[in-house]
Chain A
């Protein structure tokens, strides 16, 4: 039986697997190899050991600037997005008329693509800054807060939907018990709602974290890294290292490998934390 089933491997798996090798596996392995070489195309790569990585960590490569900008941006947007999304979710789980309409509206920006989002907010932010005689490329702080506002607009509705699902899964009886015991509204939130939506908080925190950390399109459209490359986050910095200057491809690829390792570390932390809370719940 087993052997005859495996005969169907070429039909069920092989087509997808071939595409997977072309689009992911081969480029991934080549990418790791190229990060240890100097190259302008794949054909002329010459091995240079760890030199690219040493260049990445030196002050001039811009890696650290992009890293700290990304880290600060990720921290601020994760906190603000989740704070506002949770407040909105609380407002929209009171069973009032019109709730559905409001949810629909708040979720909408999430469907708009990053490039379009970036230009929408460029118009608005430049419109406001215009009255002070500057624009978003004038100083890095404008780009920073512009990206934070944009990310909030994009992700609040998305996280709100997940929080709503979490809040609605809290059994009604628990709220009733709390009210009979004379809990204040805040006490009920603190001791009944919050502990039970903790899994949603983990999910949303990591979703915002990864989304912000890997952001590219919005960054490219809103500031393009300007002024200079001061507002380039890691993903955009890698792109600019690759395509903005000749001879830096190896360094760009090394940056990409480091970026991958950072993203993998975040994913690992998420897996660890969600496994741990699952184990606790059991």
Chain B
């Protein structure tokens, strides 16, 4: 009996190790190819770089120059951080006000926000870029306002659901102490929202960091985020530089892996909570 269990344990471990190798292989393949000369990537994509095929860092230097990678990284980072901060602040305040101010007008606005969750981006992509053009929002600051507006639905909904579960008595104590709604929100309510704030921040960060079409249409001609820059390398003029593409894929994955390593628990928790509610 005991040996049978040992055998099963070993089988389990071997099977999952094989699966792990299979899951990591795609990223590994991109990594080894990023060190190979262009010609050898298409002809023998699954071989290791050797003396002849090894290209050193040439692909990386090429790619960084062609798509101005570090500039793109800067735009991606600024837009993601600023948008997430603004979404967390703006939508938590909005959700709290709309839930606590019980009126027909408030619930109408609340459901309008919720409704926007189900509208796919293609429905508004053309008109939104026209509106952005008219209002001079076609820059890294303007796009942050667009992310707040287009992302508000899901975040108001998630904050709203959480706020409904907070007993009013907690807030009433602050009212007696003579707090204004503003100090009450920031001193009493906002700290209570921490778990859902993490979820909202994680979900929005993943969306905005990886988003392609919105930044491409609105600011893509002047300011390229990482996904837009990677796609530009592919669709750009001249013959396709697959070596540079491989190197840039590696550089695009590194920040995500670092972020995942640092905040793994919050990310997984946030994604589960988001899935169950959304």
Contact = CB atoms under 8 A, between A and B. Distances in A.
Contacts of A239: 122, 125, 213
A91 interface: yes
Which of B132, B211, B234 gathers most chain A CB within 10 Å? B234
A116 B253 contact: yes
B88 to A, nearest CB: 11
Interface string A247-282: 001001100110110011001000000000000000
B253 A123 contact: no
A116 B123 contact: no
26 contacts: A5-B101, A5-B181, A6-B103, A8-B182, A24-B119, A25-B116, A26-B127, A27-B131, A30-B131, A31-B123, A31-B127, A34-B127, A98-B16, A108-B260, A112-B253, A116-B253, A119-B249, A127-B29, A158-B275, A203-B275, A204-B275, A214-B120, A242-B125, A252-B126, A264-B118, A264-B119
Given A13-B98, A16-B93, A19-B90, A259 B46 contact: no
A109 interface: yes
Contacts of A153: 23, 26
Contact of B272 (A123, A161, A253, A263): A161
B227 A27 contact: no
A111 B206 contact: yes
Interface string A85-110: 00010011010101000101111111
Contact of B234 (A130, A207, A221, A235): A221
Interface of A: 2, 5-6, 8-9, 11-13, 15-28, 30-31, 34, 41-42, 88, 91-92, 94, 96, 98, 102, 104-116, 119-121, 123-124, 126-127, 130, 153, 157-158, 161-162, 165, 203-204, 207, 214, 216-217, 220-221, 235, 238-239, 242, 249, 252-253, 256-257, 259-260, 263-264, 267
B179 to A, nearest CB: 12
A20 B149 CA distance: 4
Interface string B165-177: 0000000000000
A39 B57 CA distance: 49
Interface string B1-39: 000000001001101100110011011011001000000
The 6 closest A-B pairs by CB, nearest first: A23-B149, A113-B210, A127-B45, A19-B149, A27-B127, A12-B97
Interface in B102-159: 103, 109, 112-113, 116, 118-128, 130-132, 135, 137, 145-150, 152-153, 156
A115 B16 contact: no
Given A23-B145, A27-B128, A105-B23, A221 B30 contact: no
A41 B96 CA distance: 39
A123 B135 CA distance: 41
Nearest to B30: A120
Given A113-B210, A119-B245, A124 B90 contact: no
Interface residues of B, number: 89
B249 A120 contact: yes
B94 A16 contact: yes
A113 B246 contact: no
Nearest to B143: A23
B148 A120 contact: no
A13 B145 CA distance: 14
A24 B213 contact: no
Interface of B: 9, 12-13, 15-16, 19-20, 23-24, 26-27, 29-30, 33, 41-43, 45-46, 90-91, 93-94, 96-98, 100-101, 103, 109, 112-113, 116, 118-128, 130-132, 135, 137, 145-150, 152-153, 156, 181-182, 185, 206, 209-213, 226-227, 230-231, 234, 242, 245-246, 249, 252-253, 256-257, 259-260, 264, 267-268, 271-272, 275-276
B131 A220 contact: no
Contacts of A115: 210, 212, 227, 230-231
Given A19-B152, A120-B27, A203-B275, A105 B213 contact: no
A22 B94 contact: no
Given A2-B101, A23-B131, A114-B227, 15 more contacts: A16-B90, A91-B15, A108-B260, A109-B23, A109-B26, A116-B253, A119-B245, A120-B30, A130-B42, A130-B43, A153-B23, A214-B120, A242-B126, A256-B126, A260-B120
Nearest to B9: A96
